[in-house]
Amino acid sequence: MINAIYGKKIGMTQIFDEEDRIVPVTVIQAEPNTVCQVKTVDTDGYEAVQMGFGYIKPRRVNKPMQGHFDKQGTEPKRYLREVRVENAGEYKVGDEQTVAAFADVKKVDVTGTSKGKGFAGVMKRYGFAGGPGGHGAHFHRAPGSVGQCATPSRVFKGLRLPGHMGCDTVTVKNLEVVRIDEEQNLILVKGAVPGGKNGIVRVRMA
């Protein structure tokens, strides 16, 4: 079976459980994902299905993608993603994956792109302690020593230094599925998921 579905992070809210306790949840809108291509070992060297989701105006589709959709005989989709499966031959183009498949699922893994933070120093990026805050100190938020003197006379690879932070693919595992709304194609999971509002996320059965 296809164990994942792609959707859009709507935002966070809170609901009450059966014992009237507040539960913080993230709302994910996962419209039906349509199988746009089936990949098998014979044709592509591996087993997978290509999922398409999101509406796009026909005039917005470029020629290469339009040719791809015409060849498969499917309607154009805004986003295309692949999901690995054990036996892709069991599926055919046009099959749909909906939130109803997660009705009996207790835990999910959610993958998304984390928020971009731009260029960050070592205190923000890695949690360095930094130096004294007094006026007499000339060492406040700098990384400090980055290597030795004469030997080996270089900076080792992998040293934690200032640089670009965020925009990474992050997976949060074992999030509890609180509620499934099949009418509005919503999945409510307990806790936070990576990325900002309207970000594309993958929800996979844990």
* pLDDT digit string, tens, across residues 187-205: 999 999 999 999 999 999 9
Name the E strands within the chain. Answer: 4-16, 22-29, 33-39, 48-53, 79-84, 96-97, 107-113, 118-120, 163-165, 169-181, 186-190, 200-205
* Cα–Cα dist 188/77, whole Å: 24
Q: Which residues lie across from 3 on neighbouring strands?
A: none
How many residues belong to the chain? Answer: 206
Mean pLDDT of 28-55: 95
pTM of structure: 0.88
Task: Give the pLDDT confidence of 44-59 residue by residue, as tens digits.
Answer: 999 999 999 999 999 9
**Phi/psi at 121 (5° precision):** -80, 180
Q: Rounded to whole angstroms, what are the CA distances from 123 to 138, 142, 160, 179, 192?
A: 16, 8, 10, 38, 23
Mean pLDDT of 4-8: 97
CB neighbours of residue 163 within 10 Å: 10
pLDDT at residue 102 greater than cutoff 90: yes
Residue 99 identity: V
* pLDDT reported for residue 167: 96
Mean pLDDT of 83-90: 91
Superfamily the domain 2-124+160-203 falls into: Translation factors (2.40.30.10)
**Phi/psi at 85 (5° precision):** -135, 165
